[in-house]
Amino acid sequence: MPKSIKKINLRKGKRRLPKGVIHIQASFNNTIVTVTDIRGQVVSWSSAGACGFKGAKKSTPFAAQTAAENATRILIDQGLKQAEVMINGPGPGRDTALRAIRRSGIILSFVRDVTPMPHNGCRPPRKRRV
């Protein structure tokens, strides 16, 4: 179970934020949710590790959901009505984090997948033999 939330990261105190951008970076090991204003200034952020999950539990969809809820909780107080979502990475928490943001009541103008895809660039790592 995650530990109780001690603090919510907030930049430049309380300010009204009508529109923002929510960045979800979902790797295989962790999920990081960052909320910025339109110019790119970070307003709040959260990650599965910052929510109290350790080790292999950070890569679970439930940890990503908790991180997304913590990152969007402060936005409701600041009056955020509309947001754009940028999803990056192949991790298991990308869809769950998006569902948590949808449930928070924020209107999503669009959801964009910005995961970089190679046009046959570098050789990928070998397949694991478990």
Give how far Cα 126 sits from Cα of 29, 46, 56, 90, Å. Answer: 18, 31, 21, 17
Q: How confident is the model at residue 24 (pLDDT cuts 50, 70, 90)?
A: very high
Q: How confident is the model at residue 18 (pLDDT cuts 50, 70, 90)?
A: confident
Q: Domain extents for the chain?
A: 19-113
Question: How many CB atoms lie under 10 A from the CB of residue 114?
Answer: 11
Q: How far apart are CA 111 and CA 92, in angstroms?
A: 17
Name the amino acid, one letter, at 15. Answer: R
User: What proportion of the chain, given as a percentage, has pLDDT over 70?
Assistant: 88
> What is the mean predicted confidence (pLDDT) over 37-66?
92
Residue 26, pLDDT above cutoff 80: yes
CATH of domain 19-113: 3.30.420.80
Q: Tokens in use for 6? A: 């001690």
